[in-house]
Amino acid sequence: MAFDLTYLGHSAFEIKTHKQSILIDPFLQASRKYDYRDSDITDIFITHGHSDHIGSAIDIAINKRATITAIFELANYCTQKGTKTRGVNFGAWLDYEWGRALFVPAFHSSSSPDGVYLGEPAGVILEVNGVRIYHAGDTALFSDMKFIRRLYSPDIVMLPVGGVYTMDIEHAAIAAKWLKATITIPMHYNTFDAINVDISRFDMLLQTINLNCQIMEPDEVLNF
Ligand code: ZN
């Protein structure tokens, strides 16, 4: 086993290697059984400052002595809340014990729950045991996704599909087509009324272009 990928609902994922665990956007409201105390979390990635993405990151980081990696302004915000942080920006591979990571732009906004500007919103690409995972964060469709494909060839992509605040299903299907990952996982839908969708439509659209859509229930695990 190279790693386990668990969907924790909304845009939250855990990637577990044989040694450690990595969280992305740990807003855990939709998970019924996840208990972070059972995981050896060393790193938490946050794509932007909105509360449904910071989620429980600060509590978890403090309790597990994990490091939060985020765009500089958001990282500083977390430092002020008492966490270990790694403040970064777009465009460079960042080395970790388990692999490496890279922040890429997202078309969205980023502020704290109390309204403080928290830098640019981001997506993040993780490379774990040679597998590249692109978590797009909250974003509109943008043409540089074609370059993300060309430069980084992600194997697994997580795309927001709920609309209103991010891409809707139609736009996410175009993103999936551009990114051509082996596995496309929809996220950021059905958590609240405003982003309720019929997710089978996304599956249907991807089937018509021969892409593998992996709809995951909260707490579902995939093994790689
Ligand atoms: Zn957001």
pLDDT tens per residue across span 203-224: 999 999 999 999 999 999 999 9
Distance from Cα 55 to the centre of ligand 1, integer Å: 11
Distance from Cα 53 to the centre of ligand 1, integer Å: 7
Q: What is the mean pLDDT of residues 73-94?
A: 97
Distance from Cα 188 to the centre of ligand 1, integer Å: 9
Distance from Cα 19 to the centre of ligand 1, integer Å: 31
Distance from Cα 18 to the centre of ligand 1, integer Å: 31
Phi-psi region at 65: left, alpha or beta (left = phi > 0; alpha = psi -120 to 50) = left
Distance from Cα 199 to the centre of ligand 1, integer Å: 20
Distance from Cα 190 to the centre of ligand 1, integer Å: 15
Distance from Cα 103 to the centre of ligand 1, integer Å: 16
User: Could you tell me the CA-to-CA distances from 166 to 57, 78, 162, 219 in Å, in that order?
Assistant: 21, 24, 7, 23
Predicted pLDDT of residue 114: 85
Q: Is the pLDDT of residue 1 over 80?
A: no
The pTM score is 0.97
Q: What is the mean pLDDT of residues 173-186?
A: 98
For residues 72 and 49, the answer to whether their CB atoms sit within 8 Å is no
Share of the chain above pLDDT 90, in %: 97
Distance from Cα 40 to the centre of ligand 1, integer Å: 27
CATH of domain 4-210: 3.60.15.10
pLDDT band at 196 (very low <50, low <70, confident <90, very high): very high
pLDDT band at 113 (very low <50, low <70, confident <90, very high): confident
Q: What angle do CA 132, 1, 22 make, to 5 degrees?
A: 55
Distance from Cα 198 to the centre of ligand 1, integer Å: 21
CB count within 10 Å of CB 164 equals 10
Report DSSP state, residue 111. B
Distance from Cα 63 to the centre of ligand 1, integer Å: 25
CA distance 84 to 144: 31
SS3 content of the chain, % helix, strand, coil (to 5): 25, 30, 45
Distance from Cα 2 to the centre of ligand 1, integer Å: 30
Distance from Cα 121 to the centre of ligand 1, integer Å: 8
Distance from Cα 1 to the centre of ligand 1, integer Å: 33
* Residue 53 token pair: 């993405």
